[in-house]
């Protein structure tokens, strides 16, 4: 994400460039712009930091750079008694420890808990390569924690309102779909195609189909349009008839296989989907099917 957005977001809380002089004079929360070296043993990580996992290889690369050039951009820390809590720069802090530094340059601030939370969320959204689901969850948390509108959140993180809205819509998808996005198997663009599908099971079906068949976004869009087009045909009576006829069959299969069973399709053709949740579970289901063949 662009540095332009970073400036807008952090300036709203900390003051930035020319605005900082005026803010520092008027606000008790912005105490000092002076950079000071702080003993690394006195610095604690931010408990509000939404990113819990840091890429080891990237940290080692940053640590090597710090050994050569030092820390170019100081950390922003909150004074807490005789200790300091990181507000911005946890990756630099972790890399500095890997590099063997005993102290790091810091700008010390006095912030409210809400400001602390907001800065951590904004930095995480703008300075890390988040997947679309992590970005959506971060924006949702920013809006909730800081009582912001979507417009205000978009301004803080340097995104357009439509981009923020589209990201937040991803959170309406089924958890299985979101996990595919987290794992990098399904792109954010593919996931956005599924938002218009209201049935969670159908969302999962098309998400898996897109992954298994390596479908392009355009191909998935066409599949979804065909599905929605069939739904728009007045087939309420046929759907009701199908559900009555197949309900007992599905329940029997759930009982036999002791797992979730889904039927997708119409009266003439379709698919039976049997869920499994581990290799052992798959082997159990296979053994059951094999026993039915004998």
Beta bridge partners of 105: 37
- Cβ burial, residue 263 (10 Å; 0-12/13-18/19+): middle
19: annotated active-site residue: no
3-state secondary structure of 104: strand
Catalytic residue among 19, 61, 90, 240: 90
Measure Cα distances from 189 to 2, 110, 181, 212, 229 in Å.
Answer: 20, 40, 10, 16, 21
What lies within 8 Å, CB to CB, of 212 at 6+ separation is: none
What lies within 8 Å, CB to CB, of 216 at 6+ separation is: none
Please choose, from the candidates 140, 149, 61, the residue with its C-alpha nearest in 3D space to the C-alpha of residue 98: 61
Q: What is the DSSP letter of 39?
A: E
Measure the CA–CA gap between 136 and 193, rounded to whole angstroms.
16
What lies within 8 Å, CB to CB, of 122 at 6+ separation is: 6, 9, 10, 142, 156, 157
Tokens of 227: 């599905």
Please choose, from the candidates 94, 91, 74, the residue with its C-alpha nearest in 3D space to the C-alpha of residue 32: 74
What lies within 8 Å, CB to CB, of 73 at 6+ separation is: 89, 92
Measure Cα distances from 200 to 98, 213, 225, 245 in Å.
Answer: 44, 20, 16, 22
Q: Annotated catalytic sites, by residue?
A: 90
């Amino acid at each position: 994400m662009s540095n332009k957005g970073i400036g807008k977001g952090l300036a709203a809380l900390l003051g930035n460039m020319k605005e900082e002089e005026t803010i520092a004079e008027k606000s008790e929360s912005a105490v000092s712009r002076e950079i000071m070296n702080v003993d690394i043993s006195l610095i604690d990580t931010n408990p509000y930091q939404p990113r819990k996992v840091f890429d080891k290889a990237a940290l080692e690369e940053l640590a090597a750079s710090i050994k050569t050039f030092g820390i170019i951009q100081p950390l922003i820390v909150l004074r807490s008694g005789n200790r300091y809590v990181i507000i911005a720069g946890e990756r630099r802090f972790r890399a500095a420890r890997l590099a063997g530094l005993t102290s790091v340059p810091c700008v010390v601030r006095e912030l409210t808990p809400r400001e602390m939370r907001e800065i951590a969320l904004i930095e995480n959204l703008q300075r890390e390569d988040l997947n679309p689901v992590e970005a959506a969850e971060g924006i949702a948390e920013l809006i909730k924690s800081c009582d912001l509108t979507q417009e205000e959140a978009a301004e803080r993180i340097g995104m357009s309102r439509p981009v923020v809205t589209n990201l937040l819509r991803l959170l309406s998808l089924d958890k299985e779909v979101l996990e595919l996005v987290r794992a990098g198997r399904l792109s954010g663009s593919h996931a956005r195609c599924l938002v218009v599908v209201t049935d969670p099971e159908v969302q999962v079906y098309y998400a898996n189909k897109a992954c298994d068949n390596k479908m392009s976004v355009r191909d998935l869009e066409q599949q979804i349009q065909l599905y929605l087009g069939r739904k728009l045909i007045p087939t309420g009576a046929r759907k009701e008839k199908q559900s009555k006829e197949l309900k007992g069959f599905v329940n029997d299969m759930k009982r036999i296989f002791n797992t979730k069973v889904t039927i997708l399709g119409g009266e003439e053709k379709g698919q039976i989907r049997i869920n499994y949740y581990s290799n052992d579970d798959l082997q159990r289901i296979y053994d059951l099917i094999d026993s039915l063949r004998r």
